[in-house]
Amino acid sequence: MQRLLIDGGRRLEGEVPIHGAKNAVLPILAATLLGGRSTLYNCPALSDVDAAGKILAMLGCVLERQDDRITVDARDITYLDLPEQLMREMRSSILFLGAILARCGRACLSFPGGCELGARPIDLHIEGLRRLGASIVEEHGCLRCRIDGRFRGAEITLPFPSVGATENILLAAVTAEGRTTLHNAAREPEICDLADFLNACGGAVTIEGDRITVEGVEALHDGVHRVIPDRIEAATYLCAGAATGGELLLTGVCPRHLSAVLPMLEKAGCRIEAGENSIRLRAPARLAAVDSVKTMPYPGFPTDAQAPLMAALCTARGTSMFVENIFEARYKHVGELLRMGARIEVEGRVALVRGVEALSGANLCCTDLRGGAAMVIAALAAEGRSTLTGLRHIDRGYQDLEQGLCRVGAKISRER
Ligand SMILES: CC(=O)N[C@H]1[C@@H](OP(=O)(O)OP(=O)(O)OC[C@H]2O[C@@H](n3ccc(=O)[nH]c3=O)[C@H](O)[C@@H]2O)O[C@H](CO)[C@@H](O)[C@@H]1O
Ligand SMILES: C=C(OP(=O)(O)O)C(=O)O
């Protein structure tokens, strides 16, 4: 079993280049099914990206990867059904549904299943695709789906701005007959990136606030696209810098996408300088508590940054309050932080973090992707050594995390 050995108590200082965004590249890889030859730059090397590649290859696409560039040739799709094992390997495999249906007219997928954050239903995806003309039958844990001819544009209002449902609807609508208007759509930067990719391939997608208009086109053509920087990877490094009283310069990042995270770090006492593609953070020796971190759909505070910020605030002066509004089970990291001496009380959606003078190293296990990142941050700030198992979670979403942290002064090694 692989594990990380982390010797805490070292101030982080130096430069961190940020990779491309996991949550942008995954829907874009699904979108490549709709086109001919797609060339994507700034693709992170992550196990989730490998899983998406496996799905594309299984469907008959030809993929090539060189450094951060992935090319996908989707001209000859041969296979339409995704085996359960691949659906379970990566929850975002559900994003392939809209694209496979649009391209092939039928699809059979197993349910992606629940995960570490709670049930994560897909009712909004299914309802949206039905509104566009799909017939979807749910039986024996599978979705049997078909459309007659092309999807047909429709007016759809989402009851909640689900990121994945917005993406699936977009993927179905881009080659539909006629216009689709999606109201109360998710506004995350990754949605804009997907729209930019689709438009680069001949799509006609317009985003105005929470309304997305798609003029359906017959087919997409070859396209070239550069994936946006990963705002959650950036937030994670900023929290690591903040937790260790450090000074970090993040490069290749988009500060605009962190407009809810940077003010929180400032409230905690950090000095932030945002350039066009860079962020410099200077942290005080001890952070101040932040009274209210409420996760919300973008442009609100991202749920994916909740656990990393909580880890940083465990040793802040005073009591911080978190309210998790997006997922019902996103405090699983708390139990592990308690093992390190943190004082955190959870009641429903609310977590109160009473800052302690110091955390102490412990044996820890990643509970989920961002929970795992939170444990790394807490371990970097703690006195003594921590060991961390369950690394498959971290490898889903962070490219070369240990190397990135070691370059700025952390002492971490992976035991294989
Ligand atoms: C690969 C990817 O991009 N993952 C991100 C995406 O996940 P994902 O796309 O799964 O997140 P959603 O925005 O869809 O989910 C938000 C909430 O809506 C609920 N819901 C969603 C769909 C549905 O059909 N029915 C329903 O009830 C979910 O259970 C959850 O409580 O957005 C989340 C919220 O920003 C992020 O934490 C994830 O990192
Ligand atoms: C929850 C996340 O991802 P996923 O939707 O892939 O589980 C995340 O990136 O924090």
pLDDT score of 116: 81
- 3-state secondary structure (DSSP) of residue 278: strand
368 is in an annotated binding site: no
Where do the domains of the chain lie? 3-18+229-415, 22-226
**CATH code 3.65.10.10 for 22-226:** yes
Rounded to whole angstroms, the Cα distance separating 32 from 79 reads 15
pLDDT score of 87: 83
- Residues 30, 23: contact at Cβ < 8 Å? no
How big is the CA angle at 289 (ends 286 and 290), to the nearest 5 degrees? 135
pLDDT score of 218: 96
Atom 2 (ligand 1) nearest CA: 23
C-beta atoms surrounding 144 within 10 Å:
15
Which residues, listed in sequence order, are joined to residue 388 by a DSSP beta bridge?
4, 364
123 is in an annotated binding site: yes
Which stretches of the chain drop beneath a pLDDT of 50?
none
- Residues 172, 165: contact at Cβ < 8 Å? no
Cβ of 32 closer than 6 Å to ligand 2, yes or no, is no
pLDDT score of 86: 82
Here the ipTM equals 0.99
Contacts 24+ apart (CB under 8 A), 234-238: 234/18, 234/258, 234/279, 235/261, 235/302, 235/304, 235/305, 235/308, 235/309, 236/305, 236/308, 236/370, 236/373, 236/377, 236/398, 237/16, 237/18, 237/404, 238/262, 238/265, 238/270, 238/279, 238/281
- Residues 398, 371: contact at Cβ < 8 Å? no
Catalytic residue status for 115: yes
* Nearest residue to 28 (alpha-carbon basis) of 185, 298, 209, 225: 225
**Span from the CA of 369 to the centroid of ligand 2 (angstroms):** 7
332 is in an annotated binding site: no
Cβ of 167 closer than 6 Å to ligand 2, yes or no, is no
Which two structure tokens, joined as six digits, stand for 131? 């509104």
Class of the 3-18+229-415 domain? alpha beta
pLDDT score of 169: 98
CA 252 to chain centre: 17
Is 22-226 the same fold as 3-18+229-415? yes
Which two structure tokens, joined as six digits, stand for 105? 């007219």
Max Cα-Cα span within the chain: 64
- The catalytic position among 104, 115, 192, 406 is 115
Strand order, beta sheet including 135-139: 81-82, 106-110, 142-146, 135-139
Rounded to whole angstroms, the Cα distance separating 94 from 189 reads 20
Atom 32 (ligand 1) nearest CA: 163
- Residues 289, 353: contact at Cβ < 8 Å? yes
Q: Determine the residue type at 170.
A: L
Atom 6 (ligand 1) nearest CA: 163
Q: Under 8 Å CB-to-CB from 32, ≥6 apart: which residues?
A: 38, 40, 56, 61, 72, 74
pLDDT score of 183: 98
* Nearest residue to 198 (alpha-carbon basis) of 31, 311, 46: 31
> Looking at ligand 1, which atom is closest to the CA of residue 161?
13
